[in-house]
Amino acid sequence: MSLVHETDYGTPVSKSSEMVTLTIDGQPVTVPAGTSIMRAAMDIGTKVPKLCATDSVDAFGSCRLCLVEIQGRPGTPASCTTPVGAGMVVSTQTERLKQIRKGVMELYISDHPLDCLTCAANGDCELQDMAGAVGLRDVRYGYDGENHTKQEKDESNPYFTFDPSKCIVCSRCVRACEEVQGTFALTIQGRGFDSKVSAGMAEPFVDSECVSCGACVQACPTATLSEKSLIEIGQPEHSVVTTCAYCGVGCSFKAEMRGEELVRMVPYKDGKANRGHSCVKGRFAWGYANHRERILAPMIRETIDQPWREVTWEVAINRVASEFKRLQAKHGRLAIGGITSSRCTNEETYLVQKLVRGGFGNNNVDTCARVCHSPTGYGLRTAFGTSAGTQDFDSVEHTDVVLIIGANPTDAHPVFASRMKKRLRQGAKLIVIDPRRIDMVRMPHIEAQYHLPLRPGTNAAMLNAIAHVIVTEGLVNEKFVRDYCDLDAFEYWASFVAEPQNSPETVGLMTGVSAESIRGAARLYASGRNSAIYYGLGVTEHSQGTTAVMALANLAMATGNLGREGVGVNPLRGQNNVQGSCDMGSFPHELSGYRHISDDATRTMFEKLWGRPLDAEPGLRIPNMFDAAIDGTFKGIYVQGEDILQSDPNTKHVQAALAAMECVVVQDLFLNETANYAHIFLPGSTFLEKDGTFTNAERRINRVRKVMTPKNGMADWEITLAIAKAMGFEMPYSHPSEVMDEIARLTPTFAGVSFDLLDKVGSVQWPCNEKAPLGTPVMHIGGFARGKGNFMITEYVPTDEKVGPRFPLLLTTGRILSQYNVGAQTRRTDNVVWHEEDVLEIHPHDAEERGVRDGDWVKLDSRAGGTTLRARITDRVAPGVVYTTFHHPNTQANVVTTDFSDWATNCPEYKVTAVQVSPSNGPSEWQREYNEQAEHSRRIAKVAAE
């Protein structure tokens, strides 16, 4: 193995279709018009010396090292800023150029510490490389003049250091922050010799607007910005390309290693989802893999008030099998089930559902997508025929109007948000529909044309009002509708949305948004050449989540914004493999590829291959499992990589359900909250310790590659196989690639997928089959998967969760950039520097009415339960609305959320809870009791293995 080296072409690729031929150092080269001479030279393998240029940012032309001579032109232009011209004759190496470059390097080195041997970048320093490239042998100026070599390091960021003594002020970091990340946190402070890279207003990095995405560190050509892990460990000796295990963007990274020690994660330029960018989580927050709280040995106990006992894998697996068999013998075949994880690989989720269907003999399998994007699957399938988003991420580069509803991309999908921001800075227009003023509404160089801060729970009404404007103002794309949609369905829908109750004037009263804004936003969306919808859990996690997804599909169809680049309906999936876990047949009613379990032909195909009869009846969904457990008909559960106690709504109800079961098996990295109610704990493996695939929000199947031996002894897929074997259901695979081969055999949309193909081409987007051997970036080109696009009636039905005198405010929840969902991973990293506890955002007016000051403890009560947390007073939320995150078990925000759920899928209505906020003096009685129980439950008594 060796390090994966990526070519730096110096300047970004030109997308021009016009080609230009020129001669460089006597060799002809043909490149797209607009390409820089530097890049054209690199195309033929000629590395023009450079320092301020790198292909992730636009050319800058400051270092004066990349000069070339062009026949017939005076001077020595910079090759990075000079575009190619037809017939141009370029020399990259002449006596004159050599002298100039040597002189420039002498100046750089005269103000640079000569500590190469002890420098973290030794062996990977562009300044060092360029000194070699230009043949620098001495520095005529000496080193005694005024210099910057004594400047102090900024070590405030937990993950990287800034050492200004090594800075050559090439501005690559500043430009990466602007152009790649779009945060504009860095600048060059001072002029001339005093020029210095500065974070924010000359603040320490950690206190500035810096979001720690790592783009600056990656762009730095010296050791000025270096990962602390690199400084501590040293240069990596090999690297493996793999996929991030955080959000649904699915960034590709090079895991750079020394032996089995991870030195750093570096975003992979060829990664088609992230194009070489990263965020603070994927880039830096992987320390949880070695956290002291990680459990590495299997454990069992008879009752949940006993301490855990470590046992061998054999004992633990046999206990799982014997308990599940006992429960089925006593309570019936339907008494047990399993939950697949959207954090695990496709192969692992496929195996869990196979274990449940084939080994348990029922369909009681569900996945955490139940509580996030299940309405997306149902809604988009009904409208278009496919349970997935329509575009690839690259599509946003062609978008003219971006409509974001119920999503907070800069926090939850930051790497894609950066691409979206870039497009907005180029002039695309923006509509944000969100109760909260998310960052995208107004940030450096971006301002939404419309922000519709609607009341939580009124999405369907709002979308119907937008449709009303489109239909009644003649903004329908009639040709598209006529050619690609069910006309009868359209006409029926058009009459419905045109009714007065759907007018902006009426809906404005329900949503709290002015009719004028709704009309303006509707006109903008409908009149954009390419308009694209991006949505998240602020759409799905409602009692009308599915209805709202259908309403979005209606808008896109009515305006013809489907079936080409730049448009579409794009769900921003929450977890890394939400799309994949759904694709793999994790839902209780369907097999892989979204085929209903009652379909005889499909079921027979699986039965033949698996050698087991399958039940034709759908199984229990997660919330139904809880109800059945409390009712006494559901007694045992196998939970792989999911913390249902912290993530599911109405914590007390979940606690009661788990406590009612006789065998709860948790497979996880840590003793999570659910494990407090478990009888068997199976230690899980991290994404660094196994092979497999993840499927991201754009249907892209990416490889996950093992870079180290599982610290727990077994990869997650091997654990599931062991359980199946102990249950008498052999699943003989020796590698996850064989699981994917089976998935491909059984799933038409995956028919062409194999590890071999992925290793060859990097990644593919399903459908990937005979018709599309390299996958399908944009769906529904020239017609919908279901035939004609289907307009559904999306009548607004107000939620049953009502505000009133006791609970006058509406709570909505979400997540923050530095933390990830229940925080099991990110809370065990230095990301806690930015977010160590959940806080409650409350409007100044509501705070004043209640006598609440910023930072005060407040009690947050709903009909379901109460908790306490600190208040943050902000006008990001409208009066009447409060907001919090759910990353910390000490807060347990979900003790407040209710059982109300989406009509079609039971996706919980996390986004609308009627609450009251009142001053408090600290954690509630329930929190104290909860913490005591959790602490008691986590005791481990070390005893000899059975």
Partner 1 sequence: MSSTLDRLVMMANQIGRFFTPQRGGDAVAGIADHLEKFWDPRMKENIVAHWRAGGAGLDGPVREAIGRLKEAKRGAPLEAGR
Q: Answer yes or no whether residue 498 interacts with partner 1 by CB under 8 A.
A: no
Residues 6+ apart with CB under 8 A from 427: none
**Which string of b and e fits 544-571 if b means at least 16 CB within 10 Å?**
bbbbbbbbbbbbbbbbbbbbbbbbbbbb
Residue 619 interacts with partner 1 (CB under 8 A): yes or no: yes
Residue 593's contacts (CB-CB under 8 Å, 6 or more residues apart) are 583, 585, 746, 747, 748, 749, 750
Q: Which residues pair with 188 in a beta bridge?
A: 197
Instruction: Please tell me the distance from the alpha carbon of residue 339 to that of residue 902, in angstroms, as a whole number.
Output: 20
x-marked contacts with partner 1 along 570-589 as a string, rule CB under 8 A:
------------------xx
Whichever of 123 and 613 has its CB closer to partner 1, that residue is 613
Q: What sections of 574-691 are H helices per DSSP?
A: 578-583, 600-610, 622-631, 644-647, 651-660
Phi, psi angle pair for 498, to nearest 5°: -75, -10
Helix (H) or strand (E) holding 409: helix 409-412
Nearest distance from residue 586's CB to partner 1, in Å?
15
Q: Candidates 51-59, 308-316, 624-632, 819-827: pick the segment binding partner 1 (CB under 8 A).
A: 624-632
Residue from the set 332, 613, 773, 787 that interacts with partner 1 by CB under 8 A: 332
Q: Return the exposure string of 881-896: e unless at least 16 CB atoms fall within 10 Å of the residue's CB, then b.
A: bbbbbbbbbbbbbbbb
Binding-site size, partner 1 (CB under 8 A): 40
List Cα–Cα distances, 518 to 475, 515, 551, 560, in angstroms.
Answer: 14, 5, 15, 20
* Least Å from the CB of residue 502 to partner 1: 12
The piece of 223-231, 411-419, 764-772, 900-908 that touches partner 1 (CB under 8 A) is 900-908
Among the residue ranges 249-257, 280-288, 603-611, 614-622, the one whose residues contact partner 1 (CB under 8 A): 614-622
Q: Which residue has the tokens 């600056």?
A: 216
633 forms part of the interface with partner 1 (CB under 8 A) = yes
Nearer to partner 1, 363 or 517 (CB): 363
| Position 656 contacts partner 1 (CB under 8 A) | no
Binding region for partner 1 (CB under 8 A) out of 33-41, 286-294, 332-340, 870-878:
332-340
Tell which positions 354-383 bind partner 1, by CB under 8 A. 363-364
- Which residue from 242, 386, 547, 892 is in contact with partner 1, where contact means CB under 8 A? 547
Amino acid (1-letter code) at residue 285? A
Q: Does 662 bind partner 1 (CB under 8 A)?
A: no
Identified binder of partner 1 from the candidate list 901, 913, 916, 927, rule CB under 8 A: 901
Half-sphere exposure of 44 (CA within 13 A, CB side): 17
Closest to 803 measured CA to CA, from 895, 916, 918, 900: 916
Q: How far apart are CA 300 and CA 665, in angstroms?
A: 9
How far apart CA 447 and CA 520 sit, in angstroms, is 15
Structure tokens at 256: 């750079």
Contact call for residue 903 and partner 1 (CB under 8 A) = yes
Q: Are 440 and 448 contacting, i.e. CB atoms less than 8 angstroms apart?
A: yes
Closest to 38 (Cα-Cα) out of 79, 95, 83: 79
Q: Which of 106, 203, 738, 795 binds partner 1 (CB under 8 A)?
A: 795
Piece of the chain touching partner 1 by CB under 8 A; list 311-319, 720-728, 790-798, 822-830: 790-798
471-490: contacts with partner 1 (CB under 8 A): 488-489
335 vs 704 by CB, closer to partner 1: 335
Cβ 643 to partner 1, closest distance in Å?
23
Name the CA radius of gyration of the chain, rounded: 29
Q: How far is the CB of 826 from partner 1 (least distance, A)?
A: 33
The piece of 145-153, 192-200, 269-277, 625-633 that touches partner 1 (CB under 8 A) is 625-633
The one-character DSSP state at 177 is: I
Only one of the segments 10-18, 122-130, 298-306, 789-797 lies at the binding site for partner 1 (rule: CB under 8 A); that segment is 789-797
* Residues across the chain: 946
């923006």: which residue's tokens? Answer: 430
The residue to which tokens 């809880």 are assigned:
626
Which position among 630, 656, 785, 833 is part of the footprint of partner 1 (CB under 8 A)?
630
| By the rule CB under 8 A, 207 interacts with partner 1 | no
Give the binding range for partner 1 (CB under 8 A) out of 11-19, 53-61, 226-234, 492-500: 492-500
Q: Does 543 bind partner 1 (CB under 8 A)?
A: yes
Q: Is the dihedral of CA 864, 867, 873, 874 positive or negative?
A: negative
Residue 288 tokens read as 């949880």
Q: Minimum CB separation from partner 1 for residue 519, in Å?
A: 24
617 sits near partner 1 (criterion: CB under 8 A): yes
Residue 362 and residue 334 in contact, taking contact as beta carbons nearer than 8 Å: yes
Task: Report the distance separating Cα 490 and Cα 496, nearest Å.
Answer: 10
Determine the Cα–Cα distance for residues 930 and 654; give it in Å rounded to an integer.
13
List 60, 205, 253, 496, residue binding partner 1 (CB under 8 A): 496
Question: Per CB under 8 A, does 353 bind partner 1?
Answer: no
Three-state SS at 774: coil
Question: Binding to partner 1 (CB under 8 A): which residues in 729-758?
Answer: none
Read off φ and ψ for residue 843, nearest 5 degrees. -70, 145
Bridge pairing between strands 531-535 and 401-405: parallel
Which CB, 330 or 529, lies closer to partner 1?
Answer: 330
Considering only 906, 916, 924, 937, the residue that binds partner 1 (CB under 8 A) is: 906
Position among 96, 596, 802, 939 found at the interface with partner 1 (CB under 8 A)? 596
Q: Is the dihedral of CA 741, 747, 751, 757 positive or negative?
A: negative
SS3 of 20, please? strand
Residue number, 595 or 827, with CB nearest to partner 1: 595
Q: Which is nearer to partner 1, 801 or 856 (CB)?
A: 801
* Choice from 797, 941, 943, 945 touching partner 1 (CB under 8 A): 797
**The tokens of 689 are what?**
């310790």
Span near partner 1 by CB under 8 A; candidates 190-198, 211-219, 399-407, 630-638: 630-638
Q: Where along the sequence are the contacts to partner 1 (CB under 8 A)?
A: 331-334, 363-364, 488-489, 492-493, 496, 543, 546-547, 588-589, 596, 598, 617-621, 624, 627-628, 630-631, 633, 792-793, 795, 797, 800, 899, 901, 903-906
